[in-house]
Each structure stands twice: as C-alpha cells, then as structure tokens.
Structure 1
Amino acid sequence: MNAYTLHSVCAVTAWLAFAYKLTALRKAPRDYALAALCGALLFSAIAYTIAHPRLYAPVDRLLGFPNGAALVSMTCIVLVLACQQFVLTFWAHPPAVARRKARPRVLAALFVLAALYTLYVMTGPSEQRPKDFALHYATDPPFAVFLSIYLLYFIGGEAAIARQSHAYAKVSHRLWLRRGLGLVAIGAWLTLAISLSRALSVPLEALSVDLNPMEPITRVLGDVGTLITYVGWTLPGWGPALAAPGRRLRARRQYQRLRPLRNALHEFAPTIELPAYADGFWHRLRPSYLEFKVYRLVIEIRDCQLALRPYADPHAVRVARELGRAAGLAPREVLAVEEATQLASMVRSRRRNTAPAAHCGPRTAAGPQGSGLADEIDWLVRVAEVMERSPYVAEALAGSRAETVGEGPGRRSGIADVA
C-alpha cells in the first residue's frame, strides 16, 4: 500500500466515522462533547479529501488561488485539534468547569487561524505543490514563520490530546471507552512524533538539508497514527459488539449452572418468581436477553434462600466447614462448600417434611462480599457447581442426620439428589 492509497483510506475512514457518530448525535443533539467529536471527524475528512493529490488542483481552481487546498487543509487540522481537546475537556470535567477550561483552547485556535491567514497572504505561495508544499516553501522566511506557528500549534495540540486521553482512560469506568482513549493516545503520540520531525524540517531546509526522501515515510506514519485515532474515537460505540458472542456464551453457561439450583429451591417456594422477559424474537438474540434471565435466577435464588432459611441445618454447615478446612481448601472454597451445604440441607429438609426451626437465628453461611452483580453471579455459579460435585457436601449431610445411612463420603450430592 503506497502513501496515496493510505491517504485515500484515511479520507474514506474519516467520512465513515463522521457518519457513524452523526447518527448518535441525532439521538443526543445537546451533547456538546459528541457534537465536537463529530466536528473533529468532519474537519478531518475534509482535510484528507481536499489534500488528496488528485483533488488538490481542482480545489485550487475552485478557490481561485494556488495552494488554496493546502491552506484549507491546515485550517481543518487546526479545527480538528481544537475539537478533540474540547471533547476530552468536557468528558473529564463538569459542564461549567469544562466551558471555562475550553475557552482558552478555542481562543488559541482562532488566534492561530488568524495568524496563518495573515502570513499566507503575505507570503503568497504561487507555485502549486500538492506533494511537498511545506518542504518546498520552508526556506522562504515569511512562510517559515507561517509553518512554525502551524507546527507549534500542532505539536502542542497533539501533546495535549495524548496526555488528556491517557489520563482520562485511567479513571474511566467504561471498558471500551478506556480502550478507545488508549488508542487515541497512541495515535496522538505517533502523529506528535511526525510533527516534531516536520518542525525540524524548517531549520534543516534552511541549512540545505534535503528531506524529500523522508517525506513518503513521514506521510505513511502520520496516516497510520490518524487511522488509529479514528478507531479510538469510535471504538466505545461499536466495540461492545465485538464482545457480544463472548457475553452470550458466558451468560448461557451461567444460566445452565444456575437453573437447576433455582428449580430445586423454587419447588418449595413457588410464589417467588419474577416477571419474564417480554420482548420479541429479535431481542432474544441479544446477549442482554440471557443476561436478564441470569439476573432473574440470581434474585429468585436469593429470595428462595431467605424464605427457606428456617429449614437449613446449621450442624451440616459446621461439618462442611470443618471438612473443607481439614482438606486444605482455600478460604473462598470453604465458604462455597458451606453455602452449598446450607442450600442442600434446605432442600432435603423440605423434601422430608422436616419441621422448620423455631428460631432460624443468624445466617449459617455467607459468601464473600463482591463489588457488584457480576461478582454475585460468579459466586452463585461456583456454589451451584460445588453443590453438584463436591463430596464434602454429601459427607456433611450424611454426618448430620442419623437416617442417611445410605450416603457416604465418596457419594456426590447433586442438586437434584439432596433427598
């Protein structure tokens, strides 16, 4: 892939990214950060389009003066940098603080644009140079000032974007936003390195150092950094779709583990049942459908556990704890054996019509306190697996009732076989 092909890829990608984010802006027209992001993508698309070698001359003819495409492209790049900084500022701060912090950045962009247009009129580059515009005129003193102002703003803007993206990625709680901002930071650092090399071209050209052989490499690296940035800005929107198959598979496994446990408890607490998911066929194909069903199972299991609490066998739980510790299980595994034994003793007591305890007292088993629903689901899945497979549950139940002579330490209990 040569430099011009990559340039075309950047232009097409920018337009696609702009169209993609524009659909989101239509749903949230008052989102200033999203509007600024759409502006950044739009100006970037315009800059890449009109600076393409095949469009450079037609744009000049349309504007009526030579190298007008280069001036418009530079203008768009300045606006891109300003919009990107605006986005990050509004993401990182409350609206009132963000407006105050964004104002100097907007004024700086306007000042740079005013300086660029003034110096451009003063220099008046008359020879059309679509491939090496900056390098060709770098030896002209007024244009060297023009190019220095542009590159200084470019370097400062990319450095600010890289720093803000990296800082905000570290504190964001959204996984795909963190990943997207990480890519934005990488793209910004890469384009920053290219801009630094361009900044060196001004004094080196004055010293008659020929940098034309490096120009294709510089263009390619700059375009690659820009493409990485496009991916980073749009990743939070389409990135979760990449994880959909994994989410669905994980939810299906969780559902298959929790469903037998819920059914065993629900048999003796039939009034505990949450409303079903009431969406159509296509919604059933989404990962959220299975995730909602798993969430229902967790709530119903906990509610049934509370309702059947008087039927728990504290002695069996204590035996399970001692067996787990004697076997050298990790503390978390011991807790899982305890809670699995508690649930199994509830089901067995109800199936045998054992009278409930007069005072259920404190909870006989409790799992580790997680940080959210995901931890609670993982914990109950582990408890269900232990209840199904662990020999310590069966041994604890066998040792707690004299009538369970037929059960032994080597017999697995099973959720459907606790009676």
Structure 2
Amino acid sequence: MNAGTAYLCSAGGLFFATVIKLLALRKNPRDPLLRAVTATLFIGALLFVTAAPPNLAVINETLGIPNIAAPIVYSILTTFDGVTIVLLIHWRGNDDPRVTLRQTRLCLTTYAAVVVAIFVLFALGDAPVERLRDLDTYYSGTPWIREMILLYLAAHSVAAVTMVILSWRWARKVPGTLKLGLQLIAVGAACTFAYDLLKYTAIFARWFGHDWDWLSTNVAFSLAGFSAFLVAAGFLLPSIGQGVGSRFRALRRFRLLQPLWLEIRPEIPATSPPPMPWWQPVEHRLMQRERDIFDAVLRLTPWFERATGATVYALALAEHSESRRARSEADASVIARAVMQRRSAAPTVAPELRWTVSSTEDSDDLLSMSAAMLRSPRVELVRQSTARVEHRA
C-alpha cells in the first residue's frame, strides 16, 4: 500500500468515526463532551487528508509556495494534540471547575503559540525543494526549518506523554468499556511517542552524517495510521459499548418479563396495539411489554384476593426468608389466580379484602415476579387449586 492510499484509509476511518458521533450529536446536540469528541475526530481525519503525499503536492501547487503544506500539516497536528488533551481533561472532569478551566486555557494557549511559531519559523527559513515524504530529514540541517521541525515534534511528544499519563491513571479508576477505551488511547499515544522517537533518531542520524531516513519515511509512517486508529477506537468504544450494553440489558429484561406477560396476555384488550415485530428497537418493545403488564394488573385488581397473597407470602418467607422475593411470589400467585377467575366469574372480592400488588413498582421486583410466575411451586399450586375449584363449580 503506497503512502497516499494508507493515509487516506486512515482518514476514511476517522471520518467514519466522526459520522458515528454526528449521528449521536443529532440526538443530543447540547452535549459539550460529545461535540468535543466529534471535533477531535474530524481534526484527526483532516490531518490525514492533508498529510497524504498526493495532497501535499496539491496544496503546494495551489498556494504556489514550495513545501507550504508542511507548516499547514504541522499546525493541524499541533491543534489535534491540544484539542485531544483538552478533551481528556474535560472527559475526566474535576471537582473544582476552576482547575479544569485553568488547565484548558494553559493547554490551548500553549499549543496556539506553537502553531504561530511554526508558521513564523517557516517564513524565516528557506525550503525551495519540494519534499513530500522526507522533508523532516531533508531539511534537518536547514536553519529555521530545522527549528520548525523540532518544535512540532516536541509539542507532539509532550501531547503523547500527557495522553499516556492521563489515560492510564484514569483507566485504573474506572470499569468496563470506559477502562478499555482509555487503555486503547494510552497505547495509541504510546505509539505516537514511538513515532516521534523514530523521527528524532532519523534527524539525529542526519546530523552525524548517517542516512537513516527509512526510520522516518517507512517505520514511523506505519505507526502514524496505527496510532490514529487506536486513539479513535478509544474515544468511540465507551459510547458504543454503552449503547450495546443498554440494548443488551433491555433485551434481557424483555425476555425475563415474558413469563409474566404470557400470563396476563388474555387481559390485554383486543383494541391494544399488537406486539411489535422483532426488528423494532428492543427499547420500544420493552416499553410496550411493560405497559401491557401494568394495564393488565389494573384490570385484574378486582379479583386480587388477600387470603391467597398472604398464604403464599407466609409459605415463601418460611422457606427462604427473603421478604422481597416472598412478596414477588405472593403477587405472582394473586395475579395467576385472578387471571383464571376472571375468565369464569364476576369479581367477588370486596375492596377491603383485596391484595395490593406492589412488585410492579420496582424493576427488580417486577423481574422477580416474572421469574416466580415461571418457576415458583407455590404459584403453580395456586393455579392447580383454582382450577379444581372452577372445575367443581
């Protein structure tokens, strides 16, 4: 793969990550952290677009100044470094907003000064021969251009080390996909620092009369795209993992509620919307299932018998001594009995003798009631006794 294609592939990956964040930004346009992540990914993509050797030639030709693309790319890279550090500062947060603001201003001011200095040094220097791949080593001994190259590399190295430290320290304090994302950013930043070391080595070799340019043009080049991929993946992973995790939890809850939903399904009015098909968002299907359960519980209230609930509660409590679980079993047995009695009789339970189903008030209790509906022997016993009574009647 040639240099231009590789850089453009890296740019494509970062643009793809930017699009993912833009889609999320449409749903939450006022989220400052989301805007910052989107801007950072876009600047990274812009960096690889401008740094591709064919595009360097286009920039030089368009502006009519040999090698003018170099300070432009260096300034975009420096901007990316500064914005990335600021993003990590805000992402982590601080108990004192004044500290965050002070750190942000210091970082942005420093890197803005570096951007200005890069263009000043380029203007002071003389780089008449266009170099698209090896400008760093070719002009490593040229006054002012040499200083410009060392300045951008130094700023890049400081940013890489800062990112490694911030990411790794924070990763030790957080779990899950956020931890993994921070570790990816730290590894990507470490690769970035290795990129700088290779550049330094090739430049120093030139100063001592050796030709180690391949370290800069080949090895360092390979690390650039890899490190960008890791950093982009690190920023994307927490939000993607959070979304996947949220959907997985919703799907798990949807499935665990199925026994309860099947039990009360005869009480869902025919005029209610039919169950959503499987391709609909699981969050919407879960909301519909929970709504069906709540509506059915309200419709069955006149058939809730306190004696049944109290008996099952006492038996369950005596067996496993867990009051919340016992309450869920009692609620499940009352609902199971009410469903069977409603099919054949008008409500006969006086208001003062009705059982109050409370397991629908807490999400965990609702799941426990659904599990009891499927597995509790006491709920099954209530079903059998109710069936025998109805059969004799």
TM-score (norm 2): 0.73
Amino acid at match of 2:374: E
2:164–2:190 contact (8 Å) kept in structure 1: yes
Kindly indicate whether residue 70 of structure 2 is the aligned counterpart of residue 73 of structure 1. no
Equivalent residue, structure 2, for 1:414: none
Aligned residues between the structures: 381
2:280 aligned to which of 272, 275, 285: 285
Aligned-pair distance for 1:222?
1.6
Amino acid at match of 1:130: L
Give structure 2 stretches of 5+ with no counterpart: none
Distance 1:390 1:91, change over 3 A: same
Equivalent residue, structure 1, for 2:43: 43
Aligned-pair distance for 1:104?
1.0
Amino acid at match of 1:286: P
Aligned-pair distance for 1:84?
2.2
2:333 aligned to which of 341, 344, 348: 344
In 2: Cα distance, 1:11 partner to 1:166 partner: 26
Distance 1:404 1:283, change over 3 A: closer
In 2: Cα distance, 1:241 partner to 1:338 partner: 33
Aligned-pair distance for 1:107?
0.7
1:145 aligned to which of 141, 144, 147: 147
Kindly indicate whether residue 388 of structure 2 is the aligned counterpart of residue 386 of structure 1. no
Amino acid at match of 2:45: A
* SS of corresponding position for 2:113: helix
Aligned-pair distance for 1:286?
1.9
In 2: Cα distance, 1:154 partner to 1:365 partner: 60
2:139–2:145 contact (8 Å) kept in structure 1: yes
In 1: Cα distance, 2:301 partner to 2:158 partner: 60
Q: CA offsets, 1:16-63, max 9 Å, x none?
A: 444554566677776554554444334333332232122222221222
1:310 aligned to which of 302, 306, 311: 306
Give structure 1 stretches of 5+ with no counterpart: 326-330, 408-416
* SS of corresponding position for 1:126: coil
Aligned-pair distance for 1:67?
1.6
TM-score (norm 1): 0.69
In 2: Cα distance, 1:167 partner to 1:88 partner: 11
1:37–1:83 contact (8 Å) kept in structure 2: no
Q: CA offsets, 1:328-379, max 9 Å, x none?
A: xxx77x9646632453156438949886796889x99989x9xx84xx2xx5
Distance 1:168 1:299, change over 3 A: farther
* SS of corresponding position for 2:219: helix
Aligned-pair distance for 1:156?
1.8
Distance 1:358 1:56, change over 3 A: closer
Equivalent residue, structure 2, for 1:188: 189
Distance 1:214 1:42, change over 3 A: same
Superposed CA RMSD in Å reads 4.8
Equivalent residue, structure 1, for 2:204: 203
Distance 1:277 1:50, change over 3 A: same
In 2: Cα distance, 1:193 partner to 1:263 partner: 62
In 1: Cα distance, 2:312 partner to 2:246 partner: 41
Amino acid at match of 2:194: A
2:110 aligned to which of 108, 111, 127: 108
Identity of aligned residues (%): 21
1:88–1:165 contact (8 Å) kept in structure 2: yes
Equivalent residue, structure 2, for 1:85: 85
2:259–2:374 contact (8 Å) kept in structure 1: no
Distance 1:354 1:340, change over 3 A: farther
Distance 1:209 1:33, change over 3 A: farther
2:306–2:354 contact (8 Å) kept in structure 1: yes
Equivalent residue, structure 2, for 1:412: none
1:191–1:225 contact (8 Å) kept in structure 2: yes
Aligned-pair distance for 1:290?
0.7
1:337–1:387 contact (8 Å) kept in structure 2: no
1:66–1:127 contact (8 Å) kept in structure 2: yes
* SS of corresponding position for 2:66: coil
Equivalent residue, structure 2, for 1:157: 159
* SS of corresponding position for 2:130: coil
